């Protein structure tokens, strides 16, 4: 059945969404491990500290606030985000949102920040390159370019925070929390709209 908001994108079932998330996470992890072995690249370290938790939560709050502002001010982004979020979140039940936070938060951060940053030189150029790849990963149709732009900006923010702190745990925490918050708020908003 076609998605009424975007005829290019087919609506998926809950099972299909969960399978796609799981397969995508596994593929990203396999790519990370192969690249790490073939390229002899050391992953950015994971340092479990209170500071990392504070940085991660603070970054997530900043991204969530910025996303909310962009959503209200940029109509093209709002349409693009609604299409993407309806496609991904609408079929899911509340407990599934945990997977939506964890799977991409872990697998995407391991590849885009944990491996790409060191592989491309652990500098601002590496942040830009990994951010562009991260943005493209979020492309689900030709009408989705505003969502890709925003994902690239978020990727840059996560990459920059990883670069300046040298700690992969911070973008992982921020990514997981951002996904959880945005999916929860979107699902709540649509629940209220359907009443």
Using one digit for the tens of pLDDT, what is the confidence trace for 68-80?
999 999 999 999 8
Q: In the predicted model, is pLDDT for residue 1 greater than 60?
A: no
Dihedral pair phi/psi, residue 45, rounded to 5°: -65, 155
Q: In the predicted model, is pLDDT for residue 171 greater than 80?
A: yes
Q: Using CA of residue 45, residue 33, residue 136, residue 64, what is the dihedral sign? A: negative
- Residues composing the chain: 195
Rounded to an integer, the average pLDDT of 115-135 is 96
Rounded to an integer, the average pLDDT of 89-112 is 93
Secondary-structure percent of the chain, ordered helix, strand, coil, rounded to 5: 80, 5, 20
* CA 51/CA 104 separation, integer angstroms: 23
pLDDT band at 142; cut points 50, 70, 90: confident
Assessment of whether the complete model's pTM goes beyond 0.75: yes
Other C-beta atoms closer than 10 Å to the C-beta of 133 total 15
pLDDT band at 29; cut points 50, 70, 90: very high
Q: In the predicted model, is pLDDT for residue 9 greater than 80?
A: no
**What's the whole-number average pLDDT of the chain?**
90
Rounded to an integer, the average pLDDT of 1-17 is 64
Name 23's Cβ contacts closer than 8 Å, sequence gap at least 6. none
* Residue pair 174/165 in contact by the 8 Å Cβ criterion: no
pLDDT at 139: 82
Exposed/middle/buried for residue 92 (C-beta within 10 Å: 0-12, 13-18, 19+) = middle
- H helices present in 74-168, as ranges: 75-89, 96-109, 116-119, 124-137, 145-165
Q: Would you call 48 helix, strand, or coil by DSSP? A: coil
Q: In the predicted model, is pLDDT for residue 58 greater than 70?
A: yes
pLDDT at 136: 92
Name 25's Cβ contacts closer than 8 Å, sequence gap at least 6. 103, 104, 106, 107
Name 164's Cβ contacts closer than 8 Å, sequence gap at least 6. none
């Amino acid at each position: 059945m076609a998605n009424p908001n975007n005829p290019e994108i087919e609506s998926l079932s809950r099972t299909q969404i969960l399978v796609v998330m799981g397969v995508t996470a596994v593929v990203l992890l396999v790519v990370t491990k192969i690249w790490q072995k073939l390229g002899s690249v050391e992953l950015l370290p994971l340092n479990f500290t209170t500071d990392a938790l504070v940085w991660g939560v603070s970054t997530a709050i900043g991204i969530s606030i910025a996303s909310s502002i962009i959503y209200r001010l940029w109509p093209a982004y709002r349409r693009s985000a609604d299409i993407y979020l309806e496609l991904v979140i609408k079929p899911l039940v509340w407990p599934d949102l945990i997977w939506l936070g964890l799977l991409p938060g872990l697998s995407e951060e391991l590849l885009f920040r944990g491996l790409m940053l060191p592989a491309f030189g652990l500098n601002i150029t590496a942040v830009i390159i990994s951010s562009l790849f991260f943005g493209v990963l979020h492309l689900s149709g030709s009408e989705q370019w505003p969502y890709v732009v925003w994902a690239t900006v978020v990727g840059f923010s996560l990459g920059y925070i990883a670069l300046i702190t040298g700690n992969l745990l911070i973008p992982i925490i921020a990514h997981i929390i951002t996904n959880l918050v945005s999916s929860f708020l979107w699902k709540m908003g649509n629940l209220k709209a359907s009443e």
